[in-house]
Amino acid sequence: MTGARRWLNDQLAYLPRLLQNKIAEPLARTAWPRRGSGNGQDPARVAIVSVNYNTVDLISYLIFSLYRVVGPSRFDRLVIVDNGSVDGSVEVLRALAERGLIEVVLNRRQRYHGPGLNQAISMLARTWRPDGPPYVWILDSDVIVLRPEAVTDAVALCRRHRAAVAGDFNDDNSVYPSLRSLMIDPEQVWRRPIPPFEEAGDPSEAMQRRLLERGLDVLRFPYFSSGYALHLGSGTLNALLERGLTANRYFSWATQWAWSYQETIAAGRSGEIFRRFTEIFQREVPELSGPALAEACLRPHLIQV
């Protein structure tokens, strides 16, 4: 059986559960409160969410870059959802949560990327306060942020145009900004009739399509093309292959589409940046553990990659 046929069979086998998720997830979503006048909000700060699954090194890079490159003054909350990792991620994330560096949601089963994001943003909505940040920044676990202006410049664009969503595009043929790094205005996005993130396919496609249908702005912001961030790529798919997690419904997909990010960025400017970042990380965190990463994140001086 070809890889494409295996993938199609996986999709068909999962269809009943997918339909159930499409019904259950919108009902479980907590709508974002209306901000009203927005008095007291700091527009330069955001809430950040990411979903992790067996990518302990990559999620550690991301969190380190947020604290030591971007700086904690530019974000208000950092929520990480873990989908049942068995690679040491849980221990690292728990240690960071105990130090107050992140808020962590530990799922006992694999809920996949889209539903994990729904969990995180609904948690933010339930605990929203009037002086909280007006935007939510969604990041893949295999992203490294390289410039502190990744927050301020993206927020400025969103505020200037009252945009619902802003992000970079995968390529010139893309219709919607990529979920790899996406700034959203949850007051416009996180309520009916806008769909939440889906489990299969591109989790944000239905959401962004509905936003455009309603005449809301979905804008390009050059996170990756202008060097605000580096996307290593294929982190979770590689984890599926390395651990032989055949029960995961995307395992067949991973056999076709996973690639080694080390090989992808080995040459050129991206490779130089990644090597420089990892040298700094290894100097600050000689042995990866929750306590060591927490100490590195709490050091006050910012670094330039």
Across the range 174-188, mean pLDDT stands at 94
**What's the chain's average pLDDT?**
84
Could you tell me the pLDDT band of residue 243, with boundaries at 50, 70 and 90? low
Could you tell me the pLDDT band of residue 38, with boundaries at 50, 70 and 90? very low
Q: What is the tally of structural domains in the chain?
A: 1
Residue 303 lies in a domain: no
Could you tell me the pLDDT band of residue 287, with boundaries at 50, 70 and 90? very high
pLDDT at 111: 87
pLDDT at 61: 97
Beta carbons of 185 and 214 less than 8 angstroms apart: no
Across the range 229-249, mean pLDDT stands at 65
Residue 270 lies in a domain: yes
CATH classification at residue 49: 3.90.550.10
Across the range 280-293, mean pLDDT stands at 97
pLDDT at 35: 72
pLDDT at 264: 52
User: Tens digits of per-residue pLDDT, 82-128?
Assistant: 999 999 999 999 999 999 999 999 999 888 899 999 999 999 999 98
What residue type is assigned to position 252 of the chain?
A: S
Could you tell me the pLDDT band of residue 171, with boundaries at 50, 70 and 90? confident
Residue 304 lies in a domain: no
Could you tell me the pLDDT band of residue 261, with boundaries at 50, 70 and 90? low
State CA 2 to chain mean position distance: 31
pLDDT at 10: 42
Host domain of residue 274: 3-298
Residue 204 has pLDDT above 70, yes or no: yes
Across the range 12-22, mean pLDDT stands at 39
List CB contacts of 270: < 8 A, sequence separation 6 or more.
230
Task: Verify cis geometry, omega within 30 degrees of 0, for the bond prior to 222.
Answer: no
Residue 119 lies in a domain: yes
Residue 156 lies in a domain: yes
Residue 71 has pLDDT above 90, yes or no: yes
pLDDT at 234: 58
Residue 107 lies in a domain: yes
Residue 237 lies in a domain: yes
DSSP the chain: --HHHHHHHHHHHHHHHHHHHHHHHHHHPPPPPP-TT-TT--TT-EEEEEEESS-HHHHHHHHHHIIIII-GGGEEEEEEEE-S--SSHHHHHHHHHHTTS-EEEE-SS---HHHHHHHHHHHHHHT--TTS-SEEEEE-TTEEE--THHHHHHHHHHHHHT-SEEE--SSTT-SS--TTEEEE-HHHHSSTTS----SSSSTTHHHHHHHHHTT--EEE--TTTTTSEEE---HHHHHHHHHT-TTSTTHHHHHHH---HHHHTSSHHHHHHHHHHHHHHHHH-SS--HHHHHHHHH-SS----
pLDDT at 269: 66
Residue 305 lies in a domain: no
Residue 246 has pLDDT above 80, yes or no: no
